[in-house]
Amino acid sequence: MELLLIRHAKPFRLSDPAGADPDLMPEGEDQAKLLAKAMAAGRYGAVDAVVSSPMRRAAQTASVTAAALSHEISFDDRLVELDHGWTTYGVVHTYTDRATLLADMNAGRLGDNSFDLDEFRSRVVDGIESLIVDDERTVAVVCHGGVINAYLSHIIGAEQMFFTEPFYTSVSRVIALPGGYRQVMSLNETDHLR
C-alpha cells in the first residue's frame, strides 16, 4: 500500500492558556484548496482513505481534501503534533537561526518547551503503522511536520529521531509492503502549489 504523508496547510500563530490549536489562515486555506484540487485530479494517484490528526490545522486541511475526494475522515489522536497542549503555536518562528532551531528540536526542546523524542516517535509510529494493511490502497495521512519526521526517521532506521522542515501541504510518499518492508518514494512534494 502507499501512504501519502501530508503536512497541514499554514495556520495562524496563536497563544492560548487553554492550549494553542490554531485555525488555518487565508493563505493556508488556499494551500488546502490547491492540494485538494490536485488530489481530486489524480496528481497523487487514486486515494482510498483520508486519516487526520484531530488538531485544527490538520483537520481543516484534511476536510478540504476529503470533500474533494468524497471520503469521510478518520481521526487518530496518535498523529497529534509534539506541541499538542502547549500554550503557544509558532515558537519555531522566534528562532532567527535555522541551525539553532533544528539543533534544539533534535535535542527535544523548542523555546521554553521540551518533549521526549523517543516517546513522540513511538506514538507516531504506532499510529501510522496501524493504518497499514496488505493491499493496494492509498491512504492520505494529514498530520504535522514533526509527525512526518518521526515516521521517516523510523523508516530509514535512524537511531534517533531528527527534524527537517516539510513545507505546508507537502506530500511525502511511502510504500508499505508485507513483512514490514517500507520504502520512502518521495519527500516534500509541492507541485500542487505552483
Judge whether 171 and 65 are in contact, CB under 8 Å.
Answer: no
pTM > 0.85: yes or no: yes
Residue holding cell 518521526?
Answer: 150
Are 108 and 83 contacting, i.e. CB atoms less than 8 angstroms apart? no
- pLDDT digit of tens for each residue in the chain (194 aa)? 999 999 999 999 999 999 999 999 999 999 999 999 999 999 999 999 999 999 999 999 999 999 999 999 999 999 999 999 999 999 988 999 999 998 999 999 999 999 999 999 999 999 999 999 988 999 999 999 999 999 999 999 999 888 888 999 999 999 999 889 999 999 999 999 99
Burial of 38 (0-12, 13-18, 19+ CB in 10 A): buried
Determine how many CB atoms are found less than 10 A away from the CB of residue 80. Answer: 23
d(CA 24, CA 34): 14
pLDDT at res. 134: 83
Cα–Cα distance between 190 and 167 in angstroms, integer?
8
The pLDDT assigned to 178 comes to: 86
